[in-house]
Amino acid sequence: MSTHHDPSTDLTTRDGAPLPERFEDPGLHEHRARVGDTDPKAQKRAERQVVVLFTISILGTIGAIVAYALVPPGETVGTMRLSNLLLGLGLFLGLAGIGLAAVHWAKSLMNDHERAEDRHPTASSDAVRVKAVEALREGAKDSSIGRRGVLKGAMVTSLALFPLAIAVPLVGNLGGGWDVSQSKRTMWRRGTRLTIDPSGRPIKASDVTIGSAFHVIPEGLEEAEHPLNEKAKAVVLMVRMDPRDIKSEQGEGWSYDGILAFSKICTHVGCPVALYEQQTHHILCPCHQSTFDAADGAKVVFGPAHRPLPQLPITVDDEGYLVAQDGFDSPIGPSFWERLT
């Protein structure tokens, strides 16, 4: 211990007196009487207030039941709103009245003398602890686990294996299957017609005017075994721009006279990218703001996506309807599928 005395670290009390050796427990605050404790009128008033709060609760509950009986939700938004409002108000008053009354009662009418309750020590007495350790030791000795090696092995194995009975079905049910390749295949085949989502009308190339954006599903989607699963993979955004505006495409001749079709599933984490700005030809993803340039092979111009939206090669059939030349040539959706297979 240093004998050097540094006054800057010396602690003193506020009035300059030296610190005491030990702080005394200040105990509870001095009890202060409430108005109601000395004035019977005030007490009577507090009692009335509690009664009023309970009465509000009673009225609220009755009101809720009456509203339920007399104001049905009905057909229009206005009546639904009124019905919800009255039911909710009744419930609110019914519960809030009870709560406020209980708290007010406890605070103003019940006695408010402070009391201190000491905690119990958490540890058991020494005698009990010695006994417990002894019991455990005796059990271990009785099972002779140290000598019976096979028994020990069997026990450890069974304990280690059991969680698999829960884990395997749990993991196995994720996504319903581990056939990763099915995420690479969509319904688009050579000659599949492009149809309008949701009506399923086929689209004539001549109907797609410049500046248009069509939300497209493959023909026959409704007849597929799992229409929603197929739709989730096959949705396409089709736009038409002045062919002179097209800077590049993902494949030679994949567009038709300025009509371009791209997968609508973002290559970042799979949100539907469908915000199309017809003047800049940008396609935006609403989830993380990935931006693709439809005029430039759907290249990523902003945001976290890593690769362009796959382009669907299209052409027209004999009747002038737009059809796919083939399926997508790269996997649709988030990029990790590409790495998996």
Partner 1 sequence: MKALAARRHHRSAPVVLLLLALLLTGAVYAIAQPASADAAQAAASESDVAAGQKLFQANCATCHGVSAEGREAVDGGAGGPSLIGVGAAAVDFQVGTGRMPAQMNGAQIQAKPVQFTQDDINKLAAYVASLGAGPAIPTEEQVDPSKGDAANGMALFRTNCAMCHNAVGAGGALSQGKWAPALDDTTPTHIYEAMLTGPQSMPVFNDANITPDEKRDIIAYLDEQRDGSPGGLSLGSLGPVSEGLWAWVVGIGLLIGASVWIGAKSS
Residues forming contacts to partner 1 in the complex (CB under 8 A) are 32, 34-36, 76-78, 80-81, 84-85, 88, 103, 107-108, 112, 196-199, 203-204, 207-215, 239, 272, 274-280, 282, 284, 286, 289, 291, 302
Distance between CA atoms of 317 and 12, rounded to whole angstroms? Answer: 96
Q: How far is the CB of 109 from partner 1 (least distance, A)?
A: 9
Q: How far is the CB of 210 from partner 1 (least distance, A)?
A: 8
Read out DSSP for 30-88?
PP---HHHH-HHHHHHHHHHHHHHHHHHHHHHHHHHHHHHH----SSHHHHHHHHHHHH
Rg value, the chain, Cα: 38
Closest distance of CB 166 from partner 1, Å: 34
Closer residue to partner 1 in complex, CB, 187/203: 203
Comparing CB distances to partner 1, the nearer of 184 and 284 is 284
Least distance from partner 1 to the Cβ atom of residue 273, Å: 8
Q: Cα separations (Å) of 223 from 35, 230, 238?
A: 79, 10, 22
CA separation for the pair 283, 215 (Å, rounded): 13
Nearest distance from C-beta of residue 332 to partner 1, angstroms: 18
Closer residue to partner 1 in complex, CB, 3/38: 38
Q: Which two tokens stand for residue 79?
A: 């009546």
In the complex with partner 1, the residue whose CB is nearer, 91 or 210, is 210
| Of 319, 318, 298, 295, the residue nearest 307 (C-alpha) | 298
Instruction: Return the number of the residue (11 or 77) whose C-beta is nearest partner 1.
Output: 77
Q: From the CB of 214, what's the least distance to partner 1, in Å?
A: 5
Please answer whether residues 202 and 219 qualify as being in contact, where contact means their C-beta atoms are separated by less than 8 angstroms.
Answer: yes
Shortest distance in whole angstroms from residue 80 CB to partner 1: 4
Instruction: For residue 49, count other CB atoms closer than 10 A to its CB.
Output: 16
- Contacting residues for 190 by C-beta, under 8 A, at least 6 apart: 324, 325, 326, 327
Q: Which residue's CB is nearer to partner 1, number 184 or number 203?
A: 203
Q: Is 207 helix (H, G, I), strand (E, B) or coil?
A: helix
Give the nearer residue to partner 1 in terms of CB position, either 34 or 185: 34
CA 235 to CA 197: how far, in whole Å?
8
**Measured from the CB of residue 281, what is the shortest distance to partner 1 in angstroms?**
10
Contact 236, 312 (CB under 8 A): yes
φ/ψ region of 226 (left if φ > 0, alpha if ψ in -120 to 50, else beta) reads beta
CB 229: neighbour CB atoms within 10 A? 13
**Which CB atom, from 52 or from 152, has the smaller least distance to partner 1?**
52
| DSSP assignments along 80-149, one per residue | HHHHHHHHHHHHHHHHHHHHHHHHHHHHHTS-------PPPPSSPPHHHHHHHHHHHHHHHHHHTTTT-H
Residue with tokens 């097209």, as numbered in its chain: 246
**Least distance to partner 1, CB of residue 148, Å:** 59
Residue 110 or residue 174: which is nearer to partner 1 going by CB?
110
